[in-house]
């Protein structure tokens, strides 16, 4: 699953990059700051299919460095609540055992974002669009607290979203993301079936479906003139 997702992200990102090289333009502001809230879920030992079978809460604060109208670099600090129950599974665990969990995760992540279209308002000669789909991929660190135990693991967040600019400095977002956690303790559980599997198959994924808003600042000086 990880290899397929990474392959799809790489193909689409390559296409976006090739298009961006010919269409990117200077953005009027350097930075933005915003918040995102929504629903969280996971895939792991107690859930192998629908990540939002037991939805939780997700929220984060984020800052972007806006490279141009096609590219941005985003840093975020977020949290999410997760829960699950093996009673929902079709698989039968050894000795008919049942497990459930409730956890809170905190994550710090940095990712690159690629807009499908040159994004912005005004300056029609730049062919800017008020809206655009976008892709994102990055790296991060996840800390999970579950039933009195704490664990940490590296992550790879991947996202697909849609952004809209109602005013020059305001951005609205809707996003679906899946974060690969390179550890197996988000849910406090590991190897419930007692069957050893490949590393990438036995680790956890965190899903998020969120909406957000951000405000841009740090105006660029596109044409500075020296006056004696």
pLDDT digits (tens, 9 = 90+) for 20-34: 444 578 889 999 999
In this prediction the pTM is 0.81
List Cα–Cα distances, 189 to 9, 73, 105, 177, 202, in angstroms.
Answer: 29, 34, 14, 23, 10
Strands 170-181 and 100-115 come out as: unpaired
Render pLDDT for 169-218 as a digit per residue (tens, 0 to 9): 999 999 999 999 998 778 776 655 555 555 445 568 999 999 999 999 99
Task: Give the phi and the psi of residue 14 in degrees, each rounded to 5.
Answer: -65, -40
Percentage of the chain surpassing pLDDT 70?
72
Per-residue pLDDT, 202: 53
In the chain, the domains with their CATH numbers are 2-218 (2.40.160.20)
3-state helix, strand, coil in the chain (%, to 5): 15, 55, 30
> Is residue 82 very low, low, confident or very high in pLDDT (cuts 50, 70, 90)?
very high
Averaged over 56-67, what is the pLDDT? Answer: 97
What pLDDT is attached to residue 19? Answer: 45
């Amino acid at each position: 699953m990880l290899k397929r997702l990474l392959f799809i992200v790489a193909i689409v990102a390559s296409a976006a990059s090739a298009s961006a090289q010919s269409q990117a333009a200077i953005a009027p502001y350097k930075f933005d700051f915003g918040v995102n809230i929504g629903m969280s879920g996971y895939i792991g030992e107690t859930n192998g299919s629908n990540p939002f079978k037991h939805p939780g809460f997700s929220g984060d604060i984020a800052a972007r460095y806006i490279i141009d109208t096609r590219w941005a670099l985003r840093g975020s600090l977020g949290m999410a609540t997760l829960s699950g129950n093996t009673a929902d599974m079709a698989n039968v665990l050894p000795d008919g055992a049942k497990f459930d969990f409730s956890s809170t995760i905190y994550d710090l992540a940095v990712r690159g974002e690629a807009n499908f279209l040159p994004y912005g308002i005004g300056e029609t000669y730049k062919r800017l669009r008020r809206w655009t789909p976008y892709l994102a991929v990055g790296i991060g660190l996840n800390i999970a607290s579950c039933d009195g135990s704490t664990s940490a693991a590296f992550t790879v967040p991947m996202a697909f979203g849609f952004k809209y600019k109602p005013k020059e400095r305001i951005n609205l977002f809707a996003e679906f993301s899946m974060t690969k956690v390179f550890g197996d303790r988000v849910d406090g559980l590991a190897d419930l079936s007692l069957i050893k599997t490949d590393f990438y198959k036995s680790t956890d994924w965190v899903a998020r479906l969120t909406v957000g808003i951000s405000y841009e600042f740090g105006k660029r000086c596109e044409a500075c003139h020296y006056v004696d």
